[in-house]
Amino acid sequence: MRPFLFSKSSAANQALAKKNSTTQYIAGGTNLVDLMKKHIAEPESLVDITSALPAKIEPTAKGIQIGAMVRNTPLANDPTILAKYPLVAKAVLAGASPQIRNMASTGGNLLQRTRCPYFYDVTTPCNKRKPGSGCSAIQGENRMSAIVGYSDQCIAVHPSDLCVALAALDASIKIQDKSGKMQSISFTDFHRLPGTTPERDNNLPANALIHSIEINENAFAKNYAYVKVRDRDSYAFALVSVAAAFNLNGDQIVEARLASGGVAHKPWRWLEAEQYLKGKTANAATFEAAANIAIKDLRPQTHNGFKIPMLKGAIETALQQCLNP
Amino acid sequence: MGFFDEPFDLTTAAEGRVEGIAKVTGGGKYAAEYKVNGLCHAVLVGSTVAAGTILNINTNNAKQVAGVLGIITHLQKPLVPGMANEEKIKEARFGLPIFHTDKIYFKGQPIALVIAETLEDATYAASLVTAEYKEDTKIVDFNGALASVSLTPAGKDRGDIAALNNAAQTIEAEYNIKAEVHNPMEMHATIAEWIADDKLKLFDKNQGVNNVQRTFAKLFNIPVDNIEVISEFVGGGFGSGLRVWPHALACIMAAKLVKRPVKLMLTRPQMFHSVGYRPASWQKIKLGANADGKFVGIHHQAKNGTSFYENFNEGITRVTRLIYHFDNLKAEAATVPLNLSTPTWMRGPGDCTGDFAIESAIDELSYKLNIDPIDLRMKNLALAKHPDSGLPWSTNYINECIEKGAQMINWKDRKATHSQNVNGDWSIGYGMAVGAWNAGRGTASAGIQMQKDGTLTVQTAMTDIGTGTGISMQNIAHESTGISKSKIKIELGNSNLPPAPSQGGSNGLSSIGGAVVAAVAALKLKLAAYAASQNEAYKNATAADILMSDNGISFKTANNQFISFTSLWEKNKLAILEVEASSGPGTERQKYAFCSSAAHFCKVRVNRKTGKVKIERLVTVSDGGKIISEKAAANQMSGAAVGGIGMALMEEQATDERLGTLVGNDFAGYHFPVNADAPIIEVAFINKPDPNINPQGSKGLGEVGIIGTAAAIANAIYNATGKRLRDLPITPDKVLLG
Amino acid sequence: MLGALAFIPRGVKAFYEEVKNFIVPQKEQLPLTVSINKKSYAIKADTRTTLLDLLREDLNLTGAKKGCDHGQCGACTVHIDGERVLSCLTLAAMVPGKEVTTIEGLANGDKLHPMQEAFIECDGFQCGYCTPGQIMSAVACVKEGHTKSVAEIKEFMSGNLCRCGAYNGIVESIQKVAAK
């Protein structure tokens, strides 16, 4: 690691006052410390914000608020989450390992960087790590890369499982800036597509931090599923993952949500497929039709054409599992 | 030798391994964990190109880091006499001439070593070293380079494979296996300390301390005895510790440069190009049989990757000559040089790779012939003698392994046609395969120190890399002395102790067992000699006549003439009684052939929608002769099976041809099985002693546990889905697209 | 085309310009008081020092192992305030005020923790290098209640890699302790 100054802030405004272009905030450290060891992140100063932000899960008028410092494990075990937003718990438990889930914060989970192997290898070109150096993955080992929403500058995918569930549930992110002002960003607008600025993962303003996540009350506590296909059974990033949920009237789908990880630079919503599912009978034929809609315009890389049939299968599996979560 | 005279039960007692407490309390010290006064830290800097020449190295920034004590490059380095010139480098056969060349053979090749007061300083300073290169064209893609080399004969032909043209059924297919990396959990590490100008002390991770000692004695032109190598706890090896690697030399050079003890631990990414790997391979098999299932012959062709600075031949076709009668056999092989580091032996080297192809082809043939794969194998096993040498097997119970395994997994539940066992999105299938390994034995020495209270310390230089050497030595010492296990201490992994071969090739216990038995015999004779001064009856006693117990010695006969150790020690004014003995293979090797064998059975579930393969059951039955420590042996076998799951389903060192680089060289990119990937592995042994191989009758187990596992899994996937997948690893994408 | 040569795309001049302008930052040392196995240590640590390196390199507590140093293997697992975490991704500077328990602090004097005993009895290891991490994780796994089935134990122990593949004994050890 490059040498750095270390300090602790006990309040958000205090932390925000310390923020400049060479400062980084640290909470769980599960991604940042790793990036610093690899010389991918080289902050000159580090601010510990674990005591500066809320670490509670609290009810709000419209639903629930998850403090940025809530760790993954308590999030997955929270009785309200399990009762009303079980998809969140399911997605959290599909990610990382128990040790990492004990450390990793909710805010940090949103900010984690891609796991593209070239991003992690500082001896190779990578536009996300070093803008303008080129994308090694496009002509290289791109088995894990994106199949939708990518650009000719970057084909990396977002690694989070939690974020896929939060995207599916239309969560929003409360952001606090230097002036103390709170602002809400819808979850699907938070993460970015790579475009010509792949170095920017999200739309978090430079002088702001994530205060909390809000999820509104919804009808997806009964029929939900999170399916993650990976090279090993646990402790691996997704080849593709699917968060699915719907509510039923008899056997008719009233409203459905469908999102994926491992396919794009951000958690990806399959809006057209969701639309299709509305009002349909919840059966295998419907699920297959919805999956076919989701996969119809995807453009895989040289080594990940398999992600299309795999995604189709994972969507069908997830929708089927929604019937018996 | 009276080893088989006594009825004995050699199973591990509830108290577990001799080193158990050290391992569960964190007390056991691995190479990098010794506290050494004045210790400083070294970190390697790797080349950022895969082929070329170093033009210059810039260490100015690194030198500015406070705490940096020195930097080694090929331009500035302490003298290594054994590498003083080109000729000596060739003669040394050390592999990569680290810091003695400006040539770059692979990306990550060490070009500099930074030594600093703290690990943080050294690591940061190492990141500031830069270099310029004249880059050459490079090639790292094995499959792309395959065609550039031609095959040459691997061993003598048997008969004429033209006979295959008349076979009732033939299989002709190609098999590709990606490179695998040992990745023991402990990263290779060395602490080097020059005690004097010509005296070196090493705490080092390796599988054979005497090999390390010999290597550096030669390179530094100092007597072997001037080098002490301590490797008491070794955090796994799987073959990666059978060679002495450049980083260890780098660490010793660093200690010379800064005149202080230096620690160097490889990083996990460095582990992928510093200590060998199982090379990528290509195979082609043509196999034929008569309608009744009798094999007509086999044509086995194989190529494996190697480096540009050394030639490493895996020996992939060796196993083809071992298991079955093939009256007509032709084997050919070649190595393919690449801009990668040199591969090395990895668990079940060669055989593991070759066996996958043969056992897959036999399975495929069984469906064509409509003969059960077990029956097909039984018809063709070479059970009487080694097909090449013609020597009779000393023991070979591979058929019993198959029978027992079939029973354990309920083979009768298998459908004879593929894709017949379906449950929702999942297809269920059964598969099996066998494996064999030439069972070896080396010459080893063991020492015993005995105290007045009957306490024994049994010693050897051999390392225990987790295989259970320590507990097995204790068991053998207990069985051959009668002294309680709680009174038998084991010391190993230190070059000051009696010399022994490296722990590898499934030879460890086979070699050291005989040495312990020989040392016990020497001890009995020595005790008898002292006893003779008290009791004439002991004068002409042979070791076989003597019984020992916790308290004293006696004769096996009814009139036992008991003498207590206390009186023996007091009468003879003894302090510690010491013996050392050596034992090795003899003429039995001219009379018999020796092999270990195993049969592996697998039940899988395959998800047709996602391509996910779930191993429901994995049964492995092996013939390792007499089982000396049942728990440790079972652990070896189940662990090997887990390794087999990795080989079959996920292990793959990816490369990038355009950049000449390894891709994903860490545990997020290179997957091996986690706990959830493995079922509870079901292990059984034939457990019949081999009366000729060594006194204790045990045959090595480490390799056969993984030879055949991958084929059993692939064969089960075929039975479940009808997809014949011949390229490893079988990741979900291959299942979906297969 | 073998033998074709190419210079790396950076002029020698630019290379040295960059070198000239580079200022090596000084390391920052922090005074810290950390509590490990109920013992308080007043130390001065580099801000870059991880808890794992603090334990292994400075305090001679080498029970926590370095298997990857990047949060990908679990060999460095310790407990902080009773929960299992990875010490390789924990900065020492963030540990003050918390109680760290390592494998060295698990036994009660000479009396082994039941999980340590179970690992010996069930032969839950081979080389022993991942073992302290496995045991720390296993103790937490039981405490968390993730022991209802073999599958659940396996899933909640999958953050601890074992290359020897001693998973049979690890699962058996946990079942044994959970049944008590």
Is the model's pLDDT at B380 over the cut of 90? yes
Amino acid B6: pLDDT = 43
Q: How sure is the predictor about B181, in pLDDT bands with cuts at 50, 70 and 90?
A: very high
Residue C14 lies in a domain: no
- Residue B480 pLDDT class (50, 70, 90 cuts): very high
Mean predicted lDDT score pLDDT of chain B:
96
Give the domain-ending residue among C70, C105, C140: C105
Residue C50, min C-alpha distance to chain A (Å): 9
**Pick from B26, B133, B668: which is nearest to C72 by CB?**
B668
What is the secondary structure of B386-432 as a DSSP string? -TTT-PBBS---HHHHHHHHHHHHTGGGS-SSTT--EETTEEEEEEE
Residue among C12, C129, C165 whose CB faces B186 most closely: C129
Instruction: Give the pLDDT confidence of A155-198 residue by residue, as tens digits.
Output: 999 999 999 999 999 999 999 999 889 999 999 999 999 999 99
Residue C7 belongs to some domain of the structure:
no
Nearest to B656 among A2, A115, A140 (CB): A140
Contact between B26 and C102 using a beta-carbon 8 Å cutoff? yes
Cβ of B30 within 8 Å of Cβ of C66? The answer is no
Task: Please check whether residue C11 lies inside any domain of the structure.
Answer: no
Distance (Å) from the alpha carbon of C97 to chain B's nearest alpha carbon: 24
pLDDT score of C20:
53
> Which residues in chain C have their CB less than 8 angstroms from residue B121's CB?
27
Which positions in chain C have a beta carbon within 8 angstroms of at least one beta carbon in chain A? 25-28, 30, 46-48, 50, 69-71, 74, 77, 83-86, 88-91, 93-94, 137, 140-141, 144, 146, 154-156, 158-161
Quick count: other Cβ atoms within 10 Å of Cβ C116?
Answer: 27
CB contact under 8 A, A6 and C85: no
Cβ neighbours of A233 in B, within 8 Å: 614, 674, 676-677
CB contact under 8 A, A117 and B663: yes
Name the band, by pLDDT with cuts 50, 70 and 90, for residue B413: very high
Asked if the model's pLDDT at residue C14 lies above 80, the reply is no
Q: What is the pLDDT of residue B38?
A: 98
HSE, CB side, 13 Å, CA atoms: give it for residue B718: 25
Size of interface A-B (CB pairs under 8 A): 100
Same fold, A5-50 and A223-323: no
- Domain coverage including residue C134: 114-179
Predicted confidence band at C81 (pLDDT cuts at 50, 70, 90)? Answer: very high
Q: Do B675 and C170 touch (CB under 8 A)?
A: yes
DSSP A116: -
Contact C159 A96 (CB under 8 A): yes
The neighbours of chain A, by the rule of 3 or more Cβ pairs under 8 Å, are B, C
CA–CA distance, B67 with B125 (Å, rounded to integer):
9
A139 has a chain B CB within 8 A of its CB: yes
Q: Do B124 and C48 touch (CB under 8 A)?
A: yes
Number of A to C CB contacts under 8 A, please give it: 90
* pLDDT above 70: percentage of residues in chain A: 100
Q: Which pLDDT does position B211 carry in this prediction?
A: 97
Residues C65, C133, single domain; the answer is no
Mean pLDDT (whole number) for B643-656: 98
pLDDT of residue C5: 39
Give C55-60's long-range contacts (Cβ < 8 A, gap of 24+): C55/C87, C55/C102, C56/B32, C56/B33, C57/B118, C57/B119, C60/B35
Tens digit of each residue's pLDDT (9 = 90 or more) over A251-309: 999 999 999 999 999 999 999 999 999 999 999 999 999 999 999 999 999 999 999 99
Is residue C9 a part of any domain in this protein? no
Res. C22 pLDDT band, cuts 50 70 90: confident
Q: Is C27 within 8 Å of A50 when comparing Cβ atoms?
A: no
What's the whole-number mean pLDDT along residues C3-28?
Answer: 58
Q: Do C90 and C40 sit in the same domain of this protein?
A: yes
The answer to whether the CB atoms of B135 and C5 lie below 8 A apart is: yes
Beta C39-46 vs B169-177: how paired, if at all? Answer: unpaired
Name the residue of chain A whose CA is nearest to B668's CA. Answer: A236
CB contact under 8 A, A313 and B607: yes
CA distance A197 to chain C (A): 23
Pairing of strands B199-204, B227-230: parallel
The token duo for B599 is: 């049969």
Chain C interface disruption, residue of B25, B53, B185, B231, most C CBs within 10 A = B185
Alpha-carbon distance of A146 to A134, in angstroms, equals: 16
Dist. CA B277–CA B268, nearest whole Å:
14
Q: What is the ipTM of this complex?
A: 0.97
pLDDT tens-digit map of B57-89: 999 999 999 999 999 999 999 999 999 999 999
Question: Given this model, what pLDDT does residue B560 score?
Answer: 85
For the segment A205-224, the average pLDDT, to the nearest whole number, is: 97
Residue C19 lies in a domain: no
CA–CA separation, B296 and B160 (whole Å): 10
As to burial, measured by CB atoms within 10 angstroms (0-12 exposed, 13-18 middle, 19+ buried), residue B576 is exposed
What average pLDDT does range B255-280 have in this prediction?
98
Percent over 70 (pLDDT), chain B: 98
Q: Is the CA virtual torsion A137, A140, A144, A147 positive or negative?
A: positive
Is the model's pLDDT at C2 over the cut of 80?
Answer: no
CA distance C72 to chain B (A): 6
Q: Select from B61, B733, B737 the residue whose CB has the most chain A CBs within 10 Å, as the one to mutate to test that interface.
A: B733
Looking at the fold, whether C130 and C172 belong to one and the same domain comes out as yes
Written as one string, the DSSP assignment of B352-375 is: HHHHHHHHHHHHHHHHHHT--HHH
Interchain contact, A136 vs B671, CB within 8 Å? no
Whether B10 has a pLDDT exceeding 90, the answer reads no
Same domain, C54 and C85: yes
- Looking at residue C57, the DSSP 8-state letter turns out to be I
- Please tell me the distance from the alpha carbon of residue A264 to that of residue A188, in angstroms, as a whole number: 12
- Model confidence at A229, pLDDT cuts 50, 70, 90, reads very high
A313 with B663: Cβ contact below 8 A = no
| Beta strands A252-261; A268-269: pairing state | antiparallel
Give the gap in angstroms from C-alpha A135 to the nearest C-alpha of chain C. Answer: 16
CB of B584 within 8 Å of any CB in chain A? no
* pLDDT, tens digit (0-9, with 9 covering 90-100), for B699-729: 999 999 999 999 999 999 999 999 999 999 9
CATH architecture classification, A223-323: 2-Layer Sandwich (3.30)
Is the pLDDT at B543 greater than 60? The verdict is yes
* Domain presence at residue C44: yes
Residue B270: pLDDT over 80: yes
The structural domain count of chain C equals: 2
Query: Per-residue pLDDT for C10 more than 90?
Result: no
The answer to the question of residue C174 being in a domain is: yes
Are the beta carbons of A313 and B664 separated by less than 8 Å?
Answer: no
Burial of B542 (0-12, 13-18, 19+ CB in 10 A): exposed
Q: Summarize pLDDT for B85-100 with one digit per residue, the tens.
A: 999 999 999 999 999 9
CA within 13 Å, CB half, B521: 17
Which of B27, B496, B28, B43 minimizes the C-alpha distance to B262? B43
How do strand B444-450 and strand B52-58 relate by DSSP bridges?
Answer: unpaired
Check residues C129 and C16 and name the one with the higher pLDDT.
C129
For residue C10, being part of any structural domain is answered with no
Residues of A in contact with C141 (CB under 8 A): 98
Q: Provide the pLDDT for residue C18.
A: 52
**Option in A33, A46, A99 nearest C84 (CB):** A99
Mean pLDDT of A127-154: 98
Nearest to B675 among C10, C12, C154 (CB): C154
Q: Do B21 and C160 touch (CB under 8 A)?
A: no
Distance of CA A110 to the CA centre of its chain: 6
Let me know: does A219 contact A81? Beta carbons within 8 Å: no
Chain C residues inside the 8 Å CB shell of B338 = none
Is residue C121 domain-shared with residue C90, that is, in the same domain?
no
What confidence tier does C7 reach under pLDDT thresholds 50, 70, 90?
A: very low
Q: Which residue has the tokens 């070699």?
A: B511
Which residues from A are below 8 Å from C91, CB to CB? Answer: 6, 26, 29, 33, 46
Span B535-557, average pLDDT = 93
Tell me which chain B residue has its CA closest to the CA of residue A235. Answer: B674
B124 touching chain A per CB within 8 A: yes
Q: Nearest CA to A165 among A238, A114, A251, A254?
A: A238
When CB atoms are compared, the residue of B19, B186, B678 closest to C167 is B678
Nearest CA in chain B to A234: B676
Active site residue B703: yes
Chain B residues closer than 8 Å to C66 by CB: 32, 187, 265
Q: What residue ranges do the domains of chain A occupy?
A: 5-50, 223-323
**Residues C36 and C92 grouped into a single domain:** yes
Q: Which amino acid type is present at position A225?
A: A
DSSP result, B13-50: PTT--TTHHHHHHT-SPBGGG---TT-EEEEEEE-SSS
Q: Are residues C79 and C33 in the same domain?
A: yes
Domain A5-50, architecture per CATH: 2-Layer Sandwich (3.30)
Give the CATH number, domain containing residue C145. 1.10.150.120
CA distance B30 to chain A (A): 24
Query: Helix, strand, or coil here: B737?
Result: helix
| Shortest Cα–Cα distance, C151 to chain B (Å) | 7
Indicate the pLDDT class of residue B559, thresholds 50, 70 and 90: confident
Q: Mean pLDDT across chain A, nearest whole number?
A: 97
Residues A129/A201, Cβ–Cβ less than 8 Å: no
Strand boundaries in B630-693, DSSP class E:
654-656, 661-663, 682-685
Q: Is B308 exposed, middle or buried (0-12, 13-18, 19+ CB in 10 A)?
A: middle
Q: What is the CATH number of the domain that holds C71?
A: 3.10.20.30
Answer whether C84 sits within 8 Å of A98, measured CB to CB: yes
Domains and CATH numbers, chain B: 20-29+441-584 (3.30.365.10), 34-137+188-274 (3.30.365.10), 281-440+590-737 (3.30.365.10)
Instruction: Name the pLDDT band for A154 (thresholds 50, 70, 90).
Output: very high
Nearest CA in chain C to A34: C70
Percentage, residues of chain B above pLDDT 90: 97
The helix or strand, by DSSP H or E, that contains position B123, with its residue range, turns out to be helix B119-127
Same domain for C92 and C150?
no
Q: What is the pLDDT of residue B12?
A: 39
Q: Does B119 touch chain C (CB under 8 A)?
A: yes
Average pLDDT over residues B595-616: 98
Mean pLDDT, residues B648-677: 97
* Predicted local distance difference test score (pLDDT) of residue A180: 86
- Helix-helix angle B246-258:B209-220, to 10 degrees: 50
Is there a single domain that holds both residue C52 and residue C84?
yes
C97 and C131 assigned to the same domain: no
| pLDDT above 90: residue C4 | no
- Interface probe, candidates A34, A69, A99, chain C, greatest C C-beta count within 10 A: A99
Q: Which residues contact B298 (CB under 8 A, 6 or more apart)?
A: B161, B285, B286, B287, B288, B320, B326, B328, B329, B330, B358
Inter-chain contact C89–A33, Cβ cutoff 8 Å?
A: yes
